[in-house]
Amino acid sequence: MASRSSRMDRAGGVRARQALDAVERALRKPILDRYARLTTSGKPVTCQPRADERNGTGPSRGSKYPKVIFDLEAAALAAARELVRAGCRPMTAYPCPRSRRGHWHLKTIRQIDADQ
């Protein structure tokens, strides 16, 4: 019983996390549209893992998921500040190891639970 209950709690937790992710995506969009590098159609440009990273034949150079590109650290940090004010999880900027000319991404700061 305990393990079934535990599985259900995990499933509920995943659903809650997915719902929160959807809320965060909706909050993030107008902010990212303002600070990110945009396509000619006005959508944020993303950085994708190369084919050799995806299929495991080359070294991993960054996130395995597409990440929104910021041309400047200042733009990434400004977006991070606005995202936090909008209710998103705390984020910080980092230079992309994949970038040839230099671009930045945001990543969530994992907070340490002070109660642990």
Chain positions contacting Zn ion, by CB under 5 A: 47, 96, 98
User: What is d(CA 39, CA 10) in angstroms, rounded to the nearest whole number?
Assistant: 38
- CA-nearest of 79, 80, 54, 84 to 66 is 54
Is residue 50 within 8 A of residue 60, CB to CB? The reply is no
Least distance (Å) from Zn ion to the CB of residue 97?
A: 8
What's the distance, CA 106 to chain centroid?
6
Least distance (Å) from Zn ion to the CB of residue 71?
A: 11
Is residue 105 within 8 A of residue 68, CB to CB? The reply is yes
* Closer residue to Zn ion, CB minimum distance, 38 or 96: 96
* Closer residue to Zn ion, CB minimum distance, 50 or 98: 98
Token pair 């929104």 is at which residue? 68
* Closer residue to Zn ion, CB minimum distance, 72 or 96: 96
- Angle among Cα 83, 89, 94 to the nearest 5 degrees reads 75
* Closer residue to Zn ion, CB minimum distance, 4 or 100: 100
